[in-house]
Amino acid sequence: MNIEETAVPDAYRITPRLLSDARGTFHEAFRHDELERVSGHVFTPLQCNYSTSRRGTLRGMHSVLLPPGQAKFVSCVRGAVLDVVTDVRPGSPAFGVSTSTVLDARSGTGMYVAEGLAHGFVALTDDACVSYLCSTLHIPGTQVDIWPLDPELALPWHRSLTGEPLLSEKDAAAPSLARAAELGLLATYDECRALYARQRRDRRYAPRSLSGGSRPGPPDRP
């Protein structure tokens, strides 16, 4: 798989290598050891979520208070979405910068979104199904919502929409990025970097079976 950092620091685009034959395709969607090797981020999923969305549905922009914080690996397992990640960490050199990627079931491309970043997407097809691997369990009341149509962010939803997006009442009423910062809802860049460093430190004391070892070769087709 190819793992590349985007214009948003600590957000990585993961493109798998598809193995094809007469039956179809097989690919590794995610590997924690490869992500750690390339990015330095330690990511151990504790919860898996799915959402299905009709075409034109816009979900976002969402983050999680720190603590507890939450990193995600996001992929589209049916249909296609335009996925967007924004750096909303005050003090970050890329504060307010966004990156967008088309995620679709055919390519298997996914996004790793570190703690403190905001994530959202708009469905490009009907019945688009998105998978989220999450580093922490859901804790009610910890989600941070930012208005996805904030003109200061100027996110590229219009490129994929022919009409108005379908938003939840919660997302439509979410504060702007500037207001969320004023309310103290956003984890700062320094707080997030300190968290990433603690995760790497804790990894050094993990059992060998978790922290890696010899790197195996590519999988056989099942």
Distance CA 136, CA 157 (A): 28
Catalytic-role residue among 41, 112, 119, 132: 132
Distance CA 7, CA 13 (A): 10
Answer yes or no: 132 catalytic.
yes
Distance CA 173, CA 187 (A): 21
Answer yes or no: 62 catalytic.
yes
Catalytic-role residue among 62, 112, 119, 196: 62
Enzyme catalytic residues: 62, 132
